[in-house]
Amino acid sequence: MGKAMEMVSGLIADSGKESNRGVPAFIHRPDLVRKVAILAESARYDVSCSSSGSKAVRQGATLGAPAHSGICHSWAADGRCISLLKILYTNVCEYNCAYCVNRGDNDLPRTTFTVGQLVDLTLNFYRRNYIEGLFLSSAVCRNPDWTMERMVRVAEDLRRVHGFGGYIHLKVIPGSAPELIQRAGLAADRLSVNIELPSEASLRSLAPQKTRDGVLLPMLRISEMIGEATQDRRRLPARTANGPVFAPAGQTTQLIVGASPEPDRQILRLAEALYGRFGLKRVYYSGYVPVSRDNRLPALSGPPLLREHRLYQADWLLRYYGFQSAELFDDQHEWLDEQLDPKAAWALRHPDLFPVEVNRAPLEQLLRIPGIGVRSARRIIAARRFGPLHPEDLKKLGVVMKRARFFVTAGGKFWQSETWNPARAETVLRGLEKRGAPRMKQLSFW
């Protein structure tokens, strides 16, 4: 919040000497600093603001190009992105979701931008290299259509009036009209609809104004519109393939972890279904931050960051390592082991599948070995075309031997004097996790 205020204060301080360069009149209004402070603070718990995936070059754009410059972003411990202007259009909310800092009955300062204010703020921040794009979300003021229509106008004005070609991520307000979603997708690089909670029962309990269908139907519409736009572009002649694009960076969602009782098994099963059915680019897991007092919420001393970390690791296995959620759990293991990464935990529950001989294993089998990532697995496949691999070769190919040494052989030999001993492997790996566990310290964004 402080950094954003400094940015706006800097614009105001510079306004006299830069007035000849077209600094807009609103910059002289002192209430803008307060609005930015309130609405940037209100957006801090929204984590699904990555900018990866957009390669679109927008015709007619004269300012910014994510396909050329890329969006450089970094992440704080709670998932906040520091290179986008991440802000709400308004924090005036008609809803009363128990877990949300902006819930209607919370006593906090409320304010709303105008479309023109937010457009000018984005352009001025971009021109000063403060930001490389806009992440715009909002509370639900008056009704979903009223709020969504103004968010869409911000994106449309940036694109059409000012030729802005930089990155734009719009949150879709559940319950918005399909025509507003259509307009949003034509102006933004990425759309997202927050699924919020893993089950309909939890939604009824903690977010009674939201429904499962109200969240999933916009996701379905976005998925269909992305597919239709892709098909339309494919039908265009190759020389005129620059037709309209719809959300070229796809759609994402955010799921709060720890505010409701669902186990990790149910959460990852849901994520897997969202990837498969709606083609989501990412599911973001946001450890519940206890910012509101409510008897419906668990009593936590802090956000469950280690659980959030394990869910991201398991999600990675689903998307890049060929795992299915059913493989990571069974009736006795509905929660991820917080003391082991999910791939190591899976391997230790299947000792009959190890050790794996790296000179013969296919790519799919190599990807299931702890300590071997996608890149190192492909290097192994490429390297063994030139001759058999030896244990000492694996480290040079990027294999993390402190993990993999228990699970692989090369030419029938283990790394150094290691042997296949699952009990010893588990003891050592748990020790590694303990020493290398991420520090559960909440970093400051500003």
Amino acid 301: pLDDT: 79
Q: Which residues pair with 168 in a beta bridge?
A: 134
pLDDT band at 445 (very low <50, low <70, confident <90, very high): very low
On whether the CB atoms of residues 8 and 30 are closer than 8 A, the answer is no
Amino acid 231: pLDDT: 86
Structure tokens at 437: 């566990």
Which residues, 6+ apart, have CB-to-CB distance to 434 below 8 Å? 339
Name the least confident of 4-8, 86-90, 170-174.
4-8
How are beta strands 167-171 and 133-137 bridged, if at all?
parallel
On whether the CB atoms of residues 187 and 159 are closer than 8 A, the answer is yes
Considering 65-74, 290-299, 307-316, the range whose residues carry the highest mean pLDDT is 307-316
Structure tokens at 157: 């004005």
Tell me: pLDDT of 2 over 90.
Answer: no
Distances in Å between the alpha carbon of 289 and those of 97, 145, 200?
13, 28, 21
Higher-pLDDT residue of 108, 50:
108
| pLDDT tens column, 411-433 | 999 988 888 899 999 999 998 76
Amino acid 51: pLDDT: 46
The per-residue pLDDT of the chain, averaged, comes to: 85
Amino acid 19: pLDDT: 40
Tell me: pLDDT of 236 over 90.
Answer: no
Amino acid 25: pLDDT: 47
As a whole number, mean pLDDT of residues 135-149 equals 95
| pLDDT tens column, 95-141 | 999 999 999 999 999 999 999 999 999 999 888 888 888 999 999 99
**H-run or E-run covering 255:** strand 251-257
